[in-house]
Amino acid sequence: MRYCLRIFCTLSLFFTGGFILIFSQVLHAEDANDIIEKVVNNLNGKTAVMEISMVVKTSRAERTMKMKSYSIGQKKSFIKILYPKKDEGITFLKLDNSMWQYVPRIEKTIKIPASMMLQSWMGSDFSNDDLVKESSLSEDYDHALISETDNEYNLELHPKADAAVVWGKILMSVSKQYYLPVRVSYFDEDGVLIRELLYTDVKAYGKRFYPSCWVMTPKTADKKGHETRITVSSAIFDTVVDDGYFTKRALKRFSR
């Protein structure tokens, strides 16, 4: 009899414990989703027009590029290279999952083929795919809040079963103050850190706060010494952006 009682106690403990565990997961998951949602909205805005400069550092050299970008939400964006002189006028158009590029030197619009999607974008540590898929953080991942400090939420993102993303896991720290990412770490399936993206120097642009400096650092041995630093020099959010930017014709037209 006493024996049975003990089993019963153990079982109930087990169940309640489990229930609490499940409950807390659900609670966190909802929280985490909200956080990610906010983060993604904060990063993109309804529309955005930005001027940025990108410094690509390798173990040998350092290059600086300047460009202007126009975007509506997460799905449409248009980028024009302003500097260096030899690349001036190169334009990019992203619509949903496709990307086109116009190169004035060869007077040609090229659709980036699937086989080039994972190649580096303009020699940076971002891939073409990163540009196309930046929206996928909210859609392609299950999110869980794993811990929080006074200033930051620490989220763990696991790709959904069907999501076509190469990462095994993403860890993201989000600032509680701005609901903006602070650090995003990308891991492979075995938990090996592949690269890290830092967002710093949050500034106010109009009503909106935005990280004015992004630093991507690959962590794999073959990219040692590489770093890509994007600095936002000006940004206007939520104004009306001409829809004409987001057509293939615009690539050539706005190249000049």
Which residues contact other proteins (rule: CB under 8 A)?
A: 56, 58-61, 63, 81, 84, 86-87, 90, 97-99, 101, 103, 105-108, 110-120, 122-124, 159, 161-168, 186-189, 192, 194, 220, 222-224
Contacts of 3 (CB under 8 A, 6+ apart): none
Which is closer to other proteins, CB of 112 or CB of 155?
112
Half-sphere exposure of 95 (CA within 13 A, CB side): 11
Q: Least distance (Å) from other proteins to the CB of residue 98?
A: 6
Q: Least distance (Å) from other proteins to the CB of residue 175?
A: 26
Structure-token match 């334009």, residue found:
91
Q: Least distance (Å) from other proteins to the CB of residue 210?
A: 26
- Rounded to the nearest 5 degrees, what angle is found at the Cα of 114, between the Cα atoms of 45 and 214? 35
Which is closer to other proteins, CB of 178 or CB of 187?
187
Which is closer to other proteins, CB of 116 or CB of 202?
116
Helix (H, G, I), strand (E, B) or coil at 240: coil
Which is closer to other proteins, CB of 149 or CB of 191?
191
Question: How far, in Å, CA of 172 to CA of 170, rounded?
Answer: 6
**Are 178 and 202 within 8 A, CB to CB?**
yes
Does the bond joining 104 to the residue before it have cis omega, within 30 degrees of 0? no
Q: Least distance (Å) from other proteins to the CB of residue 205?
A: 28
